Amino acid sequence: MATEETTPRRYRRLKRANDVSTVAVASSSSKRVRLSKEHNTYKDRVSSLPDEILSKEHDTYEDMIGSLPDEILILILDKLDARTTIITTILSKRWLNLPRRSHTCYDFAIDWTLPQVEATVDGSQGSLLKNLLVDNCKFRKIYLNSLPCLETFACRGLQPTKMFYGQRILPTDSLVLQFKGPEEWIEPIAVPSPLLHLKKLFIANVPINWDIFWIVALLDAAPVLESCHVHIDNRSEKTASWLDVQPQKRQCHCLKELIVVSFDAVGWKIGFVKHVMKASPRMRWVHLLDGHVVEDDERMLGGLEVVPCRRDWHELERSDVLDDLWDGICSPQLEIILE
Amino acid sequence: MAAATDDAGDSNEMIRVVSSDGEHFEMPEAAANLSLVLRHMIEDDCADAAGIPLAVVAAKPLAKIVDYCTKHAAKSSGLTIEEAEELKRFDAEFIEVDTDMLYDLLVAADFMGVEGLSKLAVQRTADLIKGKTPEQNRETFGIVNDFTPEEEEEICKENEWAFQITKPPSRLC
C-alpha cells in the first residue's frame, strides 16, 4: 500500500455542516456509453441487426436476452452495482466477458459485504478504472491507490470520511467539493499536501454558518489555481462565525477568475472577495451573483451547474458594495460584475 | 395523409408507421420526432400516406412505443413539478411488462432511437436482475447455463467476494 498517512494539522474547531461529498474531477470528461449515438441510415441499421432479431419467433424458453446486441447488454450492466455485475458473469458464456468490455463506471455497492471502517481501492497495475462513486459511505477512511486512469471520484456519506490518495493517481487539475445532505460534523483541516496541479476549484453548498476563510486554506495550497467557484448555501439559519486563525499571506499568482454564487452585501462575504482579490495579482474577472447550484444528472459525478437568479439591489446599496469591493484595489485589467 | 413538409413548427401533422406484421399506426409528428430514425425519415420526406415501414418492429411493441412517444411529446417542454411526477408515474406503469415485451421494447427502442424509452427499458431490465441468484435470473430470462461445473467453480473463485452470500448486517460500526 502506497499511502502516507499524515496527521493533518487541525487549524480550527469543528463546525456544523452537512454531508460532505468530495469529487475530484480531472479535465477530460468521462466517456460513457450512450444510446444510439449516431444513427446511420435506416437501411444500414436494419442490415446490421443480427439475424435472430430479424427472423424473430421467440418463445418463453428461448434465450431472448442473450440475443440482444452486446451494446444493449452492456448498458444494462452499467445500471448494476459491481457485485451484481460480477454475478452475471456466471449466467452463461454469453455474459462471461461483457463486464470486462465496457466499464468506465463502477458502482461499488459493497459497504455491507465488507464491514470495515477502512477501505482500500487498489487498482493494482493497469487499472482502467475511470469513475468511482462511494455512495452511502460508512468508511472512516478511504485509500485510493494505483488508479492511474481515475478521472472522477465521488464520496457521499453520513459520517466524515478521510481520503488518502496514494501513488499512481492522475494529478488532479479540477476539484469539486459539495457539502449537502443531513446535518453533520465537518472538520475543515489544513490541506496536508499541496494541490500542485489544481487549476479549477468548485466548492458548492458551503453552509452559511461556516467560516468561508477555510476556503482560503485550499487556495493557499493550490499555487496554479486559475478558476475558483464558491457557492454559499443561504438556507442554513446559523450565522457565520469568524475564523480564529490567520490565513497565510500567500499569493494566488495564477488565479484569473472568482465566481461567488449567493453573494449579498454581508460583511464577511465582501471581506472574503476582497481578500482573494488582493492575493491575486492576475485576477481579471470577479463575478458575484445570486443563485443556486444544481446537479447535472447526465454527468452523474461532479457535474454541477450554477443557476443564476436576479437580485433586486437597491441602487445605493449596490454602489456601496461596489465601493467597498474596489476600495484599496488598483488593478486596471480587473472587472467586477455584481448582479 | 400528406407527407410532412419542411415547414418549421408544423407539428400537427400525423405520421403513419407500419409494423413488421403490417399493422398501421398513427402519431403526431412531435411524437414521431422522439425517434431519431423517424425524425430523419420525416426530414428526408420519406413519411407518406403509405406510412413508414418498420421492418423489425412488430405491432405489439410498436403500439407501446407509439403510446410512449405520444405521451412524452405532449409533455416535453416546460413541465411543472406535477406534470413531471405524472410522467414518471406513467413511465413506471408503462414499463411494468413481461420479459417478452421488455425484450421487444429494448430492441425496438434502440433500433428506432427513442432514447428515453431505451433508458427506461434498460433500467427495468437491470432492476429485474438485481437481488436475484444466478439461477433465478436464468429462469426469468430463459438463459441456458452452458458452463461445466468446473468452469463455474473457477468463475466463482476468481471473484469470491461477490459470490459469497452474505446478509447485510443490521448496523455497521
pLDDT above 90 for A61: no
Q: Please report the pLDDT score of residue A41 as a whole number.
A: 47
As a whole-number percent, the residues of chain A with pLDDT over 70 amount to 49
Nearest CA in chain B to A117: B173
pLDDT category at A182 given cuts 50, 70, 90 is very low
Chain-chain contact of B37 with A45 (C-beta, under 8 angstroms): yes
Shortest CA distance to A177 belongs to which of A231, A256, A141? Answer: A231
C-alpha cell at A199: 487549476
Number of other CB atoms surrounding residue A176 within 10 Å = 21
Closest to A46 (Cβ–Cβ): which among B55, B141, B155? B55
Q: What is the DSSP string of A50-102?
A: -HHHHT----TTS-TGGGS-HHHHHHHHHTS-HHHHHHHTTT-HHHHTHHHHH
Q: Is A36 close to B138, i.e. CB distance below 8 A?
A: no
Q: Is B131 left (phi over 0), alpha (psi -120 to 50) or beta?
A: left
Task: Say yes or no for a CB contact (<8 Å) between B159 and A86.
Answer: yes
What pLDDT band is residue A82 in, cutting at 50, 70 and 90? confident
**How is residue B77 annotated by DSSP?**
S
- Shortest Cα distance, chain A CAs vs residue B126, angstroms: 5
Among A53, A64, A159, pick the best mutation site for testing chain B contact (most B Cβ within 10 A): A64
CB A52, CB A65: distance < 8 Å? no
Q: Do A65 and B147 touch (CB under 8 A)?
A: no
Question: Is A113 or A76 the better-scoring residue by pLDDT?
Answer: A76
Q: How confident is the model at residue A83 (pLDDT cuts 50, 70, 90)?
A: confident
- Which domain CATH number covers B82? 3.30.710.10
**Percent of chain A scored above 90 by pLDDT?**
8
Name the residue with cell 405489439: B60
Give the pLDDT score at A15. Answer: 31
Instruction: With beta carbons under 8 A apart, name residues in chain B contacting A66.
Output: 141, 143
What local confidence, expressed as pLDDT, does residue B63 receive? 96
Residue range A307-328: mean pLDDT, rounded: 87
Candidate from B107, B143, B163 with C-beta closest to A66: B143
Give the torsion through C-alpha atoms of A307, A309, A315, A317, to 10 deg. -70
> A-B interface: how many C-beta pairs under 8 angstroms?
135
CB contact under 8 A, A35 and B115: yes
What's the confidence (pLDDT) of residue A33? 31
Give the chain B residue whose CA is nearest to the CA of A45: B111
Average pLDDT over residues A307-315: 84
Of all residues in chain B, the one with the smallest CA distance to A78 is: B126
Bridge partners, residue A285, by sequence = A257, A335
Write down the residue that cell numbers 494529478 correspond to.
A171
Q: What is the pLDDT of residues B67-112, one digit of tens each?
A: 999 999 887 667 788 888 899 999 999 999 999 999 999 999 999 9
Q: Is the pLDDT of residue A275 over 80?
A: yes
Mean pLDDT, rounded, of chain B:
85
Cβ(A292)–Cβ(A235) under 8 Å?
no
Identity of the amino acid at A239: T
Calculate mean pLDDT across residues A91-104.
75
Task: Give Cβ neighbours of residue A164 (< 8 Å, ≥ 6 apart).
Answer: A3, A4, A5, A141, A142, A143, A144
Q: CA A20, CA A163: separation in Å to the nearest integer?
A: 12
The answer to which of A51-65, A323-337, B144-158 has the lowest mean pLDDT is: A51-65
| Average pLDDT score over residue span A40-67 | 56
Res A112: pLDDT:
42
Residue numbers in A near B100 (CB within 8 A): 58, 60, 64
Closest CA to A301 of A84, A127, A135: A135
Give the SS3 label for residue B17: strand
Q: Which residues of A touch B171 (CB under 8 A)?
A: none
**Cell triple for A213:** 476563510
Phi, psi of B24, rounded to the nearest 5 degrees: -100, 140
With contacts defined as CB-CB under 8 Å, which chain B residues touch A117?
173
End-to-end CA distance of chain A: 49
Instruction: Decide if pLDDT at A25 tops 50.
Output: no
Give the gyration radius of chain B's Cα atoms.
21
Q: Count of domains in chain B?
A: 1
Report angle CA A194, A212, A187 to the nearest 5 degrees. 65
Q: Which of A158-167, A278-287, A318-327 has the lowest mean pLDDT?
A: A158-167
The C-alpha cell of B92 is what?
Answer: 413506471
- Chain A residues whose CB is inside 8 A of the B111 CB are 45, 49
Confidence tier at B138 by pLDDT (50, 70, 90): very high
Looking at A91-100, B137-146, B155-164, which range is the least confident one? B155-164
Distance CA A203, CA A205 (A): 7
CA distance A313 to A9: 41
| Residue A308 in this model has a pLDDT that exceeds 70 | yes
> Do A45 and B111 make contact, defined as CB atoms within 8 angstroms?
yes
Which of A58, A63, A72 lies nearest to residue B143, judging by beta carbons?
A63
Residue range A189-195: mean pLDDT, rounded: 58
Q: How far apart are alpha carbons A121 and A131 in whole angstroms?
A: 12
Contacts of B156 in chain A (CB under 8 A): 90
pLDDT, tens digit (0-9, with 9 covering 90-100), for B107-129: 999 999 999 999 999 999 999 99
- Shortest distance, CA A260 to any CA of chain B (angstroms): 28
For B161, the closest chain A residue by CA position comes to: A113
Query: How many Å lie between the alpha carbon of A119 and the closest alpha carbon of chain B?
Result: 13
Which sequence spans correspond to the domains of chain A? 15-32+110-338, 34-103
**Count of H helices and E strands in chain B?**
9, 3
Residue among B10, B18, B14 at smallest CA distance from B1: B14
* CA A280, chain centre distance (Å): 24
Task: Answer yes or no: do B130 and A80 touch at CB < 8 A.
Answer: yes
Element (H, E) at A180: strand A174-186
Q: Which of A31-35, A40-44, A77-81, A297-301 has the lowest mean pLDDT?
A: A31-35
- Find the domain containing B35 and state its range: 14-129
Name the least confident of A63-67, A181-185, A199-203. A181-185
**Across A97-111, A124-138, A179-193, B159-173, which has the greatest mean pLDDT?**
A124-138
Q: pTM of this prediction? A: 0.49
Spatial contact of A276 and A258, defined as CB atoms under 8 Å apart: yes
Cβ atoms of A244 and A12 closer than 8 Å: yes
Q: Locate the chain A residue with the closest alpha carbon to B122.
A: A76
Task: Report the phi/psi class of residue A39: left, alpha or beta, with left for phi > 0 and alpha for psi in -120 to 50.
Answer: beta
User: B137: Cβ–Cβ under 8 A, 6 or more apart, which residues?
Assistant: A88, A91, B129, B143
For CA atoms A288, A289, A290, A295, give the dihedral sign: negative
Please judge whether B40 and A68 are an interchain contact, meaning their C-beta atoms are less than 8 angstroms apart: no
Mean pLDDT lowest among A11-20, A180-189, A196-205: A11-20
> How many Cα atoms occupy the beta-carbon half-sphere of A330 within 13 Å?
1
How much is the average pLDDT of B34-43?
Answer: 92
Give the residue on B whose Cα is nearest the Cα of A109. Answer: B162
Average pLDDT estimate for A269-295? 88
Q: What is the mean pLDDT of chain A?
A: 68
Element (H, E) at B108: helix B99-112
Q: Residue A297: what pLDDT? A: 56
| Helix, strand, coil percentages in chain A from 3-state DSSP, rounded to 5 | 20, 30, 50
- Edge-first strand listing for the sheet containing B14-18: B24-28, B14-18, B52-53
pLDDT of A174: 74
E-only strand ranges, chain B: 14-18, 24-28, 52-53
Cβ atoms of A263 and A315 within 8 Å: the answer is: no
The per-residue pLDDT for B17 is 93
Per-residue model confidence (pLDDT) at position A200: 87
ipTM score: 0.85
Q: What's residue A107's pLDDT?
A: 44
In chain A, which residues have their Cβ closer than 8 Å to the Cβ of B129?
76, 80, 84, 88
Q: Which of A82, A93, A115 sits opposite B172 (nearest CB)?
A: A115
Q: Which of the four pLDDT bands, split at 50, 70 and 90, describes residue A22?
A: very low
Nearest CA in chain B to A51: B56
